[in-house]
Structure 1
Amino acid sequence: MPTNEHELPLEMVRNRPQLVPEMLRSVFGLDVSTNARATLASESYADTNPAELRCDATVLLGDPKSPVLGVVVESQLRALRQKTYSWPAYLASLRLRRRCPVVLLVLCPDQAAARGCAVPIDMGHPGWVLKPLTVHPEMLPPITDPDQARRLPELAVLSAPAHADGPQSEAVLRGLSAAIGSLTGDTGALYHDYVMSRFSDAARKLMEDIVKLDNYEWQSEFALTHRAEGRAEGRAEGRAEGRAEGRSEGRTEGRTEGEVKALLLMLAARGLDVSEDVRARVEACTDPEQIERWIQRAVSADSAEDLFT
């Protein structure tokens, strides 16, 4: 599962190729139809030449058999001289194979990398100069409409760090919560970790507050599990503080009940069948440390019964 700064933007393109024409349209003003079909193609451009050419990703717009535009997508953390030779080769090979116009889109983590990668490449032939189209988060529009965020969650995730501390921060983070909440499987966890690692402390705190104030009903398995874990961790911290301050046993029991609910919610979010025997055993437990151990096991358990093994 890709997690680093280079690979995750590419994974987003592979998950949702429509992200590419959206960037070309919103950032560079290219005349790309919002209804154009976007599909992935092979990244390998090898033909009879034994030296294989392999870009990071390729997206075709329109009919894959007769595309109207081919896009070579590269993820670049910094400018590299060798790319000034390989990028033109990618474009020429894709144009030859697909018989359509082609463009180069380079995804960069920041303005400095984008500026370095955008330097025109002089091919030597008069008038033949390749000008890479480079994108960094600050160039992307803020996604404040939850419906748009659900439609293109990758765009919401990529743009959020650049706008999370700006004048539209609250609307941006509401859109982001809707985007992550719409995802399923491991994708939500991956995107969540990516974007939260790029937030300031203030943005992370605001994100948490927005989710609480909106009482947002998460839809995805990841989001439900993540929220249950967060609740359990918060209650565990509160219980520790309560013990330090000499709070009553009755309030500790109240927190234990809350953790039991969080544990059952996590099991349900992961789609595990909770039998009456399992539910009864969990609800009967009054040992908060035991419940915490069960919560940790619930994250990766194959069945609800695995909590007790």
Structure 2
Amino acid sequence: MKNLSSICNICVRQFSRTLGSRLESQNGIRQVRRYSVDLAHTVYQGDASLANVIIVHGLFGSKSNWRTLAKRLTKDTGCTTVTVDARNHGDSPHVDVMTLELMSQDIKSLVTDKLGLSSCILIGHSMGGKIAMVTSLIEPTLVDKLVVVDSAPKAPKASEDSWVKAYIRAMMSVDLNKNLSSSELKKYVDLQLQNTMPKKSIRQFIMKNLQQTDSGFEWQLNLNALLQNHDALVGFPQHHFTFKKPALFVRGGLSDYIQPSDYAEILRLFPSAVVETIEDAGHWVHSEKPNDFLNVVERFIENEQV
């Protein structure tokens, strides 16, 4: 199995411009023709007899964004928690093709081949929430419980996601080949991003992706791939499958990513779903209201009523 995984990874690197994924249903079995990559991940070890929790970050994020919450989740519940870098993010490989289906297969490969698990509790925020939803729909035996953080099974209106391309292009336009010290370069990058990203907190979040190498600074993000695959990342594929196991959707009370008008589609795809609102929280629910967020998620994990 390890050899097959290696072959798949080589295929992705060499031929990713022509690769895609196809969802099929044969005799009621859901299948995806897959080309997965090995995802960078961090394991916070808990009680081996308890459930394993996999956390997938959002667009422009990384596993490091979830470090503190993952440690707390393991301490509070005893579960082993694994944080993941999605393809083209963090320490994971850079490839040209990104679709939610392919990224769901990256998760499956991590869970089954790398971690040796048969199933997990899957948590995803924003883009990671869409990856988690798709994973549960096409690989339902892999997911025992689903937690979606401020994301809905829908494509946004064009006016709602224009900021994504703007952010990518702003990062691409920054000249990182400046003869500056580390602190000076970060100040320079911050200044260059201000017009597109007026909020300092957003710039600080984005700049966590700056990485210093022997030859200077670079973005850990594969910006070209994010731009080329933009529509696939912010959209959501049509599905006729359903995930009937427990599902929790956590929305920020100040966010518009999950609207009451989305509830019908959520319940069509996830008939056991419940929606919980964290008041006075925006899109980054888990970082803005970590205690409230963990309280809701931990009760769900431990089978208590949310």
Greater helix fraction, Structure 1 or Structure 2: 1
TM-score of Structure 1 vs Structure 2, range by shorter chain: under 0.3
Larger Rg over CA atoms: 1
Greater strand fraction, Structure 1 or Structure 2: 2
- Taking structure 2 as the reference length, what is the TM-score of the superposition? 0.24
